[in-house]
């Protein structure tokens, strides 16, 4: 049994929970759109072709904002191809994923879907093959009330009211040599600055995200952020971060410590943004948009290469990167969410990539059922219960050694407190592969604590840490009641099984 002591104090808060950190991502990639959220011939599809079984799970997941339409896809995408009568929309080759895009689903469909899903739209513009003109025209089409060619075209295409999209990404991963229209930091910084300016001339209320690095291992990481923000500081509100994690060669210990990399990545980008602020004598602060993150088992041959396309032709929405997530992945996702929440003073937006089928918490079979992956649970519970203030958590935990990060706490935590409802939530992970963890939480400044609910995701009885949900076994991994959670005045005690993620909701009063 390992031990951890956590101390929280009602006076030590990080800030309000930014609800936009429970964001997700829909890209025209694989089966995320087609046979994911949209499948007109499915028995559960409505008149618009939106799968209601998938929508139900999206609601349950609790995503607040969804990024669209890419990803790498957006860097070769013409937004105009996805509007107007469907029968007139062009079929195009998508160079990013080497597939055939029918454009049956486009901007209007996505906005209508997002309204049904109750999520905010986060729209990405193409700064790979296109530029300032396409960007400002898209803003005019989407957000201008009427009386101009483009806003009237939107009305003619079925949307009398403006879409009123506030949140925009200025391109995607423009530092990556794989990106269509890849640029140097100076080239991208200038283009993003001019695009931002022109977009704001059309709608001054926009919130804009500049592309940061594709991951913290890029050779240009750090310099890229500095150069891009030097060009764009006054024009943008956020800088983006992307990170994907996976278990390498059976090294579960390092994989389970991935949130340490995320912590470091976030803190490095905050430091860089603040250095640009100081040097440029700027008043405002740039916040962070962690707009792609997840576990992703990258494998050679995951997506069609130009050679494979030569063999079998250009395919429409093939199965690509449909990772099947296990118990270990769910614990890692829980700790990544903890990292995002603990940094909620600066990370204001985060999008798990992606929403359905493609490295996703929700899976759907063509003409078949939809189900929840293991990673669905930490996201859904945190999105539902993280409310009010984020609390600083002081953790004194037994540690374990791992190859990548050295000594790492066995127990990981984040916590929130909603003064209005008197409810606190604790999101806890035990990284120990063998040992249960005994956790004592000192609740300073709170009394009369009472456990309202406690649930745990753990290795199902008789199974191992690689257990997953899939088409045949759709509910094998999920949450079960956690009986070992007890609260008393000023104290909470929780016992977590080996390799588990748990959520404990506590009602407290303050004197």
Residue from the set 137, 173, 409, 435 that interacts with ligand AHR by CB under 6 A: 173
| 69 touches ligand AHR by CB under 6 A | no
- Please state the closest distance from residue 323 (CB atom) to ligand AHR, in A: 11
Residue from the set 354, 416, 458, 495 that interacts with ligand AHR by CB under 6 A: 354
- Please state the closest distance from residue 295 (CB atom) to ligand AHR, in A: 12
Nearer to ligand AHR, 159 or 215 (CB): 215
| 172 touches ligand AHR by CB under 6 A | yes
292 classed as catalytic: yes
Nearer to ligand AHR, 74 or 83 (CB): 74
CB 232 within 8 A of CB 282: no
Contacts of 336 (CB under 8 A, 6+ apart): 245, 258, 259, 262, 293, 294
Residue in the shown chain whose Cβ atom is closest to ligand AHR: 71
Residue from the set 80, 203, 292, 323 that interacts with ligand AHR by CB under 6 A: 292
Beta strands in 310-436 (DSSP E): 347-353, 362-364, 370-372, 389-391, 394-397, 399-402, 406-409, 411-418, 423-430
Tokens representing residue 347 in the block:
């990370």
Nearer to ligand AHR, 353 or 356 (CB): 353
**Backbone torsion region of residue 84, taken as left when φ is above 0, otherwise alpha when ψ lies between -120 and 50, otherwise beta:** left
Say which of 109, 120, 140, 173 is annotated catalytic: 173
Residue from the set 70, 212, 334, 344 that interacts with ligand AHR by CB under 6 A: 70
101 classed as catalytic: no
Neighbours of 203 (CB within 10 A): 18
| 24 touches ligand AHR by CB under 6 A | no
Nearest alpha carbon to residue 505 among 457, 456, 432, 439: 456
- Please state the closest distance from residue 122 (CB atom) to ligand AHR, in A: 13
Residue from the set 23, 71, 128, 212 that interacts with ligand AHR by CB under 6 A: 71
- Please state the closest distance from residue 262 (CB atom) to ligand AHR, in A: 16
CA 266, distance to chain mean position in Å, is 14
Nearest alpha carbon to residue 289 among 7, 13, 65, 35: 65
| 27 touches ligand AHR by CB under 6 A | yes
DSSP-assigned letter for residue 51: B
Nearest alpha carbon to residue 266 among 299, 239, 245: 239
- Please state the closest distance from residue 119 (CB atom) to ligand AHR, in A: 18
Neighbours of 176 (CB within 10 A): 19
Strands of the 423-430 sheet, one edge to the other: 13-16, 389-391, 411-418, 423-430, 500-509, 447-457, 480-481
Alpha-carbon distance of 470 to 475, in angstroms, equals 8
| 357 touches ligand AHR by CB under 6 A | no
Nearer to ligand AHR, 237 or 292 (CB): 292
Nearer to ligand AHR, 71 or 378 (CB): 71
| 304 touches ligand AHR by CB under 6 A | no
CB 325 within 8 A of CB 375: yes
**Buried-state track 38-52, b at ≥16 Cβ within 10 A, e below 16:** bbeebebbeeebbbe
Q: Which stretch binds ligand AHR (CB under 6 A): 70-78, 264-272, 367-375, 400-408?
A: 70-78
| 72 touches ligand AHR by CB under 6 A | yes
Q: Which stretch binds ligand AHR (CB under 6 A): 40-48, 69-77, 138-146, 429-437?
A: 69-77
CB 145 within 8 A of CB 151: yes
Residues binding ligand AHR (CB under 6 A): 27, 70-72, 172-173, 292, 353-354
Residues with active-site annotation? 173, 292
């Amino acid at each position: 049994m390992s031990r951890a002591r956590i101390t929280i104090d009602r006076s030590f808060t990080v800030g309000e929970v930014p609800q936009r950190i429970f964001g997700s991502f829909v890209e025209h990639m694989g089966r995320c759109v087609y046979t994911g959220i949209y499948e007109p011939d499915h028995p559960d599809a409505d008149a618009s072709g939106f799968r209601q079984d998938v929508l139900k799970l999206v609601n349950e997941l609790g995503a607040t904002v969804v990024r669209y339409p890419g990803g790498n896809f957006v860097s070769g995408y013409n937004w105009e191809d996805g509007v107007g009568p469907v029968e007139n929309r062009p079929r195009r080759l998508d160079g990013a994923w080497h597939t055939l895009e029918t454009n049956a689903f486009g901007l209007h469909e996505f906005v209508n879907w997002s309204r049904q899903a109750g999520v905010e739209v986060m729209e990405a513009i193409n700064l790979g093959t296109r530029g300032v003109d396409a960007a400002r025209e898209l803003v005019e089409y989407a957000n201008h009330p009427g009386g101009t060619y483009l806003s009237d075209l939107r009305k003619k295409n079925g949307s009398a009211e403006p879409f009123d999209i506030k949140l925009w990404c200025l391109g995607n991963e423009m530092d990556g040599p794989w990106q269509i229209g890849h640029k140097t930091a100076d080239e991208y910084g200038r283009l993003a600055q001019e695009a931002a300016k022109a977009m704001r001339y059309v709608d001054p209320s926009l919130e804009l995200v500049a592309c940061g690095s594709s991951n913290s291992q890029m050779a240009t990481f750090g310099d890229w952020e500095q150069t891009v923000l030097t060009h764009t500081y006054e024009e943008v509100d956020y800088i983006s971060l992307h990170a994907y994690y996976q278990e390498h060669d059976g090294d579960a210990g390092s994989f389970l410590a991935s949130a340490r990399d995320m912590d470091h990545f976030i803190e490095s980008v905050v430091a860089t943004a603040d250095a640009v602020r100081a040097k440029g004598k700027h008043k405002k602060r740039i916040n962070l948009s962690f707009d792609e993150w997840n576990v992703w088992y990258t494998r050679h041959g995951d997506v069609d290469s130009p050679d494979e396309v030569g063999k079998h032709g250009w395919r429409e929405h093939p199965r690509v990167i449909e990772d099947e997530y296990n118990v270990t992945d769910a614990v890692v996702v829980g700790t990544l969410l903890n990292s995002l929440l603990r940094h909620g003073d600066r990370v204001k937006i985060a999008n798990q990539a992606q929403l359905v089928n493609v490295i996703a918490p929700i899976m759907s079979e063509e003409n078949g059922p939809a189900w929840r992956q293991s990673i669905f649970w930490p996201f859904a519970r945190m999105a539902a219960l993280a409310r009010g203030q984020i609390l600083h958590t002081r953790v004194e935990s037994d540690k374990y050694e791992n190859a990548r990060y050295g000594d790492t706490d066995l127990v990981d935590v984040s916590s929130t407190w909603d003064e209005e409802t008197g409810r606190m939530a604790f999101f806890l992970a035990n990284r120990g592969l063998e040992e249960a963890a005994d956790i004592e939480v000192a609740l300073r400044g709170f009394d009369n604590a009472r456990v309202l609910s406690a649930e745990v995701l753990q290795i199902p009885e008789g199974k191992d840490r690689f257990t997953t949900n899939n088409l045949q076994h759709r509910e094998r991994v999920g949450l079960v009641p956690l009986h070992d959670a007890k609260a008393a005045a000023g104290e909470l005690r929780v016992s977590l099984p080996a390799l588990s993620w748990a959520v404990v909701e506590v009602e407290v009063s303050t004197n």
